Chain A
Amino acid sequence: MNLLIFTPVLPEIAITIVSMFLLIIGVFKKNEKTYSTISNLAILSLLVVLFLIFSGSVPKGVSFGGSLITDSFSLYLKTLILTSSIIILIVSNIYLRNINLLKFEYIILVLLSVVGMMIMVSSNDLISLYLSIELQSLPLYVLASIRNKSSKSTESGLKYFVLGALSSCILLYGLSLIYGYTGSIYYNEIASNLSEYDVGILIGVAFTLAGFAFKISAVPFHMWTPDVYEGSPTTVTAFFAVAPKIAALGLIVRILITAMPNLIADWQSILILLSIFSMLLGAFSAIGQRNLKRLLAYSSISHMGFALMGVINGSFDGVRSLSLYMLIYLVMSLALFISIIALKTNDEHIENIEDISGLAKINPVMALIISILLFSLAGIPPLAGFFAKFYVLYAAIDAKLYYLAIFGVLSSVISAFYYLRIIKVMYFEESAISFDPISKRLKTIIYLLTAITLLFFLRPSIFINFAGTASASLFI
């Protein structure tokens, strides 16, 4: 057997082996330092893999008989997933130490989940799709409840697990219907067998999309999100908010574009509904939140609604706008989450909006950075968030879905309210509490991400071309 056929999936294989190896170390060498050793090794191996992908050493092509595909699109998404997990692992190192939760399993779980996500964006048939989703989800259920002494954390893990199982059922049922009506599990064969219009296949598509919608927490399959976000440790929340979303969106885009291009009129109407509901509900609900993590949960729901707009048209421009959206969303929301992690009062991490009132007087730099990030999330030009929204709205208008664009703008206006309210609280309200100093490593990451947000407009072409090459590979 020629081993070279495995090179396209070498990153996944490498990370799997590393995680097994680290698990063994962890089990046999249990002492104080174990956590940092394992963490550093994990970060190092992820960095190596990221470098391999980035340098173009990973060949493109299909493997496992067509089950997995490695192309520019999957590599692009893998880059995003790896980048976010590396950042998360670095931050976790500091955060977990702080809340006294140095469990080495945390790292193994993150790694395994990352493998799942990487396979998700590479999956090219229904079996690998389902298995990768499960591989991605199972570690996340555990991660949500990793703080097993906190009832909130265990509760959130349980909720996530039960509802995740339900969504898996829905997804699996949908997939089996698709298989039943097309007689194939491979995307390209599904596409060629799908020429005839049939109600059965449509119901299969609807079920499948409902299952995916749970993963990207689109309304009305979003109910778990606020509770899980609130209950999980903040680094886990940040991880939830970014990496699985990217992976799931990549998976949705691939299956819709390559397996069901003929059914565009059908899945389009479902996605429009999901998109509008998500944008509006995300915007409205966030207004009523006091807890920052819950607020960000709703904010991410709203953002997923926006991102979905990109795929609705099924066009290259749309997918490119979505890819760009994911990149910018990653930068903005990670920066914001890390800023929240960075702010502590007497070793207590802040939770609520009131906790940062008057921040501008105590720590003007952080207040300014948070303001920039919030403005960017609200889509104020010339920050990166504006471009993200601009391109997806443009895609919607390009598809002549004007009402969708109008809903997008409306919800953007509504969501501007709660972003601005946080800024108001920071700048115009008095505060009696002081904040602990912020570690240098966190500061560097925050500054870096904020700088990208702030300076994106100088050379947007760098990122747009990046997203463009990736999306183009879906339309060959």
Chain B
Amino acid sequence: MLYSSIVFLPLIGAILTGLFGKTIGARKSELITSTLVAISALLSWYVLLNVGWVNGKNDQVIVILKWLTSGALDLSWSIRVDTLTAVMLVVVNTVSAVVHFYSIGYMHNDPSRQRFFSYLSLFTFAMLMLVTSNNFLQLFFGWEGVGLASYLLIGFWHHKESANNAAIKAFIVNRVGDFGFALGIFCIFYFFGSLDFNTVFSNASDLVDKKINIFGYSISAISFICFLLFIGAMGKSAQFLLHTWLPDAMEGPTPVSALIHAATMVTAGVFLVARCSPLYELAPSVMSLIVFIGATTAIFAASVALVQNDIKKVIAYSTCSQLGYMFVALGVGAYQVGIFHLFTHAFFKALLFLGAGSVIHAMSNEQDMRHMGGLRKFIPKTYILMLVGTLALTGFGVPGLFGMAGFYSKDAIVEAAYVSSISIGSYAFTMLLVAALMTSFYSWRLIFMTFHGTPRASKEVMSHLHESPNIMLIPLIILVIGSILSGYAFYDSFIYAGFKEFWASSIFILKDNYILKELHDVSYLIKWSPTIMMIIGVTFAYYLYIRNPHIPQKIAKDQEVLYSFLLNKWYFDEIYNYIFVRPAVLVGKIFWKRGDENIINRFGPDGISKQVVKITKKIVQLQSGLIYHYAFSMIIGLTFIITFYIIVGRGS
């Protein structure tokens, strides 16, 4: 009952406001959905305490409803509760509740608020379905559900063409990933004869020596499955090559960016890999690929974030980069560290987004940082919130003493990459360190450009400048607390001494996987290295944007090639446009114009209907009204039948 209410309260809210929003009114819709999600969030914390520490009862499965039985396929709608799920429940519901309340303020002028809140709650429900599922199909249901909600919310302002395009782009790029994911699920059913987590995971070791033949290459079956699942994870978590949709998704309202495109949905890929740890542990080659993709994403996204001017785009690329960090952690076998970073990241990234939302709100929907500056004095509360978020993101802290949330989780990832025994570990370590420097730089650049210096906004905007209402600021306190304390408070249980008891059986690691112990025993230089990088980053940012604000433009002019390379996001959109989109459009045009219109329509519907009319006209002419014609037709008919009969002979 407890677990069911966590999952279904948001759905109830979504249905109520979605179907009856017009009758119950906007204000009530907001309150209903927000309250229901808030209750869900409180219950989630209770569950986490219970499952993680007090009770320690893992692996509970509550069956809600039989779904389908067909041959070997036997599926139920069920809720699986273990530590991994409980952590995700907390992340999803907490951020969702904050975002719901924040949106009451942020969206107060929008005429279709009911729809917005219904979508938000629907998203929450789908995400909860995803994290609580006990089989791959329900996971896929949630996976597609969040995809749908994301599509609806990115395109929420559907009168904006750019929003529609972004929504479609997000949907299509995710299709690539989902295709891989679906194939992975098919393979799992093919090899295991079941989609149930327990069955699949407990039989995983039988599959290690199994090979399958693909295009003449013999590949380990388990690696193939893991690879396909990872493709899905890449799409949803916007990893390198499939990342292009995430920055565009910022076209949606800012609370949506905070909830879906920073804290929850994009981490579904991380969750998927962690959930499937029993499979991934047996597929070392795919693990290396994950590390490579993760590290590359981290450095790539961070480098792009250096030069972006849109405040939301900077944070979006930052998210992309941080997701890369998480994947590196997963790839080196430190799943717990990856989930830990997911957990802390949710707080400070949501805080940053919502803070940015507050700035945008204050600046009358201005998003370009070049038109901001000096806002510190006008919106001091927002400034403090953003500051906390930035400190948490950049990993501010003193090793061995205290640090913000990101300090614990991000530094642990860097250390894990360092101690990792896989060959690509050193590449990852280097990339992550450089990315840490860049993270610090672009984060502070954002703060400095927005809040410091002289105001660059127009007089009109400045006159409207106002601090956000309390309904937007108070919920953020939860995120502030999370950003400051979540690292310090949960460090021990998540990844240090108590991790075995805490995670119990929810995450599987091989017996010879000691990475979680080893990463704490690195030398001081390594322990300090992320912090040093962070300090260098801040210094650069301070030097360039506070002391000598004219230098960045000069650098941009001197290094024009590099600058435009980064500004244009490594030209990924252009390359994809050239390689995929244009050929696809061309092929589509051929099928549409030549295939559909010229062949199918011409000989199909249009042609047939024309022929029918022609035949009809001819036959109607036969009906002359003259009796001898009629008699003649009878005789001809009789003759025909007899002739047919004699020539063709007996029938069947």
Spell out A's residues near B (CB within 8 Å): 158-159, 162-163, 166-167, 170, 199, 202-203, 206-207, 209-210, 214, 219-221, 223-224, 226-227, 265-266, 268-270, 272-273, 281, 284-285, 287-289, 400-401, 414, 417
Contact = CB atoms under 8 A, between A and B. Distances in A.
Given A265-B651, A269-B652, A287-B613, 7 more contacts: A170-B638, A199-B646, A220-B633, A287-B612, A287-B616, A288-B617, A401-B652
Contacts of A158: 627
B645 A270 contact: yes
A159 B627 contact: yes
Interface in B612-644: 612-613, 615-617, 619-620, 622-623, 625, 627, 629-631, 633-634, 636-638, 640-642, 644
**Overall SS of chain A's interface:** helix
B648 to A, nearest CB: 7
B631 to A, nearest CB: 6
B633 A288 contact: no
A226 B619 CA distance: 13
B646 to A, nearest CB: 8
Interface residues of B, number: 29
B343 to A, nearest CB: 55
**Overall SS of chain B's interface:** helix
B633 to A, nearest CB: 5
Contact of B634 (A203, A220, A270, A281): A220
Contact of A221 (B615, B623, B634): B634
A163 B629 CA distance: 11
A214 B634 contact: yes
A26 B227 CA distance: 95
Interface of B: 612-613, 615-617, 619-620, 622-623, 625, 627, 629-631, 633-634, 636-638, 640-642, 644-646, 648, 650-652
Contacts of A268: 651-652
A162 B627 contact: yes
Contacts of A199: 646
Given A163-B631, A166-B631, A223-B629, A206 B616 contact: no
Contacts of A159: 627, 630
A202 B645 contact: yes
A273 B638 contact: no
B625 A227 contact: yes
B226 to A, nearest CB: 48
9 contacts: A158-B627, A159-B630, A199-B646, A220-B636, A220-B640, A227-B625, A285-B616, A285-B619, A287-B612
B612 A414 contact: yes
Given A163-B627, A220-B634, A220-B640, A281 B645 contact: no
A273 B641 contact: yes
A138 to B, nearest CB: 19
B650 A223 contact: no
Contacts of B619: 281, 284-285, 288
A417 B644 CA distance: 32
A145 to B, nearest CB: 14
Contact of B623 (A210, A226, A265, A287): A226
Contacts of B625: 227
Contact of A266 (B612, B631, B634, B651): B651
A288 B645 contact: no
Given A265-B652, A266-B651, A284-B619, A206 B641 contact: yes
A289 B622 CA distance: 13
A272 B615 CA distance: 21
Contacts of A221: 633-634, 637
Contacts of A417: 612
B326 to A, nearest CB: 54
Nearest to A227: B625
A462 to B, nearest CB: 34
A29 to B, nearest CB: 39
Nearest to B630: A223
